[in-house]
Structure 1
Amino acid sequence: MLGGALFSSEPRTLLQTLKAETRPHHERAERVVRLMDPHLTLAGYRRHLEALYGLHATLEAALAARLEGLFPSLRLDERWKLPLLAEDLRAFGHEEATLARLPRPTRPPCLSGVPEALGCLYVLEGSTLGGQLVLRHLQRHFEGVTAGGFVFFRAYGESVGPMWKAFGEALVRACPDPALAPRVVRGAQDTFEAFEVWLREVHEVPGDAPSRL
């Protein structure tokens, strides 16, 4: 059970707790990511970007509805990833009309309140850290090939670390009540589960597929 003492003072403690409580969900989600596959094609990379676009379009709209204007320290306007995905997909010839027609997840997470939305945002922000590993692989894998600028995985560039630190600090200020912490965790778990389900639908990956990350 999540205890209030875990959420009392240090921002790092809240993040560690979220990491521990979502570890299995994170690992299952990673198993459906094919970007580290040595046989990844440009078409496969494009399909993954399209899937991420549909997911982020859904999640960022829900997050804006729940969080916009409530916590300035979260710096939401700087954290939206949909414009980055759009830039990557435009390198593949996608226009605004094409982007608007991309499919959306059939089972998005239920962000029933602010704590759940904060948990969802934790997952999206955490992906910027793992994205640095993916970025280095994609740069090597597609060296000499026109594949766009990998803008989504670059995220904040050299500011990835500082932006993550600032997010952790803002998260604690946004949810200081220990009684709400389990709802933050649930929102993060539901987001990982939605990511896993959506990519399985897109890629039709069998349940026992080996991890690519």
Structure 2
Amino acid sequence: MLRLKSETRPHHERTEAQVRLMDADLTPTAYRRHLEALHGFYVPLEARLAGLGLEAVPGLSVHARWKVPLLKEDLRALGHDAASLERLPHCAGLPSLAGVPEALGCLYVLEGSTLGGQLILRHLRRHFDGVSLGDFSFFRAYGDEVGPRWRAFGDAVNQASISATEDTFDARVVTGAQDTFDAFADWLRQGQAPASVSA
């Protein structure tokens, strides 16, 4: 986990620069467009991750970490229905995830985003106080269990590294994280978010 933090820092910073949710002039429309962008990234990415064997990683509990249902809940609160959600664009430039190591690196990005989302959640609640935008389900993911789940994820990654039989395992995890950060930044950079589809 320490190597991941160190070797992904510039990738992380480039991605973070594309997230405008902490802006003082954030509008409900901009918030909705950002959620639509997240939806467009997470839907195909979680589908890909689901086929890479992560359920076999001890202590990971990957199926309890999926965020797409939370994004759909938030977007429905903002006016979307099942049909309009289906029409939202999906990211075609996903990271190339060859196996479990790269998938763990990808999850490092997604789980780190959940951890960092607590700061965004506090800002959104203050910024949109009195505005009806739903419950911020995506940014409330795990509730009071955010810290413990992050530590459990770190333990699972570290244990997978210790148990690995291939010399390149750790490097592949790092590559998966770097590629995920870069793909996410590129997706957000495309107009800062895909055009909103009316519900």
TM-score normalised by L of structure 2 = 0.92
Identity across aligned pairs (percent)? 61
Q: Secondary structure at the match of 2:44?
A: helix
Q: Tell me the distance in 1 between the aligned counterparts of 2:53 and 2:134.
A: 32
Match of 1:187 among 159, 162, 176: 176
Runs (4+) off by over 4 Å: none
Tell me the alpha carbon deviations over residues 92-138 of structure 1, each in whole angstroms, 9 at most, x when there is no partner.
12112211221111311000121111100111011111100000000
* Cα shift readout 1:152-199 (whole Å, capped 9, x = no counterpart): 011111100000011111112333335310000000000000010000
Q: 1:37-76, aligned counterparts within 5 Å?
A: 37-76=23-62
In 2, distance between residues paired with 1:59 and 1:169?
A: 23
RMSD: 1.3
For structure 2, which runs of at least 5 residues remain unmatched after alignment? Answer: 194-199
Equivalence for 1:104: 90
Picking from 170, 192, 195, the partner of 1:203 is 192
Q: Distance in 2 between matches of 1:70 and 1:158?
A: 26
- Specify every segment of 5 or more residues in structure 1 that has no aligned partner in the other structure, as ranges: 1-14, 205-213
Other-structure match for 1:7: none
SS of the residue aligned with 2:56?
coil
What corresponds to 2:143 in structure 1? 157
User: Shift of the alpha carbon at 1:38?
Assistant: 0.7
Q: Matched residues in 2 for 1:128 and 1:203: separation?
A: 20
TM-score (norm 1): 0.86
Q: Find the counterpart in structure 2 of residue 85 from structure 1.
A: 71
